[in-house]
Structure 1
């Protein structure tokens, strides 16, 4: 073999070695890139922890709100079943007031009614105030009928309240039944 051939062969070997060294460096670079550093691992775990902590805090707040709402409306079914009794007391008081001879009876019924209603108020029951002339609001009132308005200013307004409405806390448990002018 000649010197030229030896030089070419050596160049080829050098090129192959250089290519192999570059390949090894690329593989090492890929290996280095694939393995996160300790700081990156810590940051990833810290992020996971913060997200989990935030989710838990939201869960606690949501369950707390739900529990408070449940306590506020826990007696709703009982209160709803007692509302006809309040209506009966009010009708009895109206009827007794017409009879002047039953003053003692009226005082006794009134005393029982007030005690009963005050007890329910302590448990969160309150009246939905509705009077003639109020503007009709479908979210607060339940319209049972419409009649021709006695005057122009009563069109679209409450003419009469047939049945009182009640709230338990902030939630309406019985809508006031009203007559509307058209």
Structure 2
């Protein structure tokens, strides 16, 4: 009976050791699966973080490119209109010269007229070289509020001048494409 018990204990021991091995193998498999899942989770998180950083970088790069374009455009505009204040300050002097030329041309002093004409032409050419242009509007043109400022309306001297410019009171000037002083006109109604 002792031998039978020994075999019985031995088979129980074998079964127990087999069960332990199975449990250890299953435990090891579960631990491996958890570690693999953690590695995949960490890898996915790293990929997501990398994608977020790439997106931030691309947005920052695009914002910087827009900044460069905007500042370049502003700089070009600044250079283009840098003289604007000086030229605007010179416009009343140019108007005074126009009025003086009308009065001097009525006098009989040819030498005075030639001297003032030389100075006037030199001033005009200097202003033109800096980008100043006269707005081309004359009596008889159709009035356009985008290019002229109406001071007053008078009854049209003739029916064909209704809604048109009757007289130009003050010349207009532009710097490049920008009008810096609108011509002041009288409109026929």
Aligned residues: 162
| TM alignment of 1:103-118, pairs within 5 A | 103-118=110-125
* Residue matched to 2:178: 171
Give SS of 2:57's match.
Answer: helix
* Residue matched to 1:140: 147
* Residue matched to 1:12: none
> What is the CA deviation profile of residues 106-139 of structure 1, one whole-angstrom value per residue up to 9, with x for unaligned ones?
1111110111111111111111111111111112
Give SS of 1:138's match.
Answer: coil
- CA distance, structure 1, for counterparts of residue 159 and residue 44 of structure 2: 79
Q: Name which of 128, 151, 159 aligns with 2:166.
A: 159
Q: Name which of 71, 77, 82 aligns with 1:69.
A: 77
Larger radius of gyration: 2
- CA distance, structure 1, for counterparts of residue 85 and residue 98 of structure 2: 21
In structure 2, list runs of 5 or more residues that go unmatched: 1-29
| TM alignment of 1:10-159, pairs within 5 A | 32=40, 36=44, 38-99=46-107, 101-159=108-166
Normalising by structure 2, what TM-score? 0.74
- CA distance, structure 1, for counterparts of residue 37 and residue 159 of structure 2: 87
- Displacement, 1:30? 8.9
**Superposition RMSD in Å:** 2.8
Give SS of 1:36's match.
Answer: helix
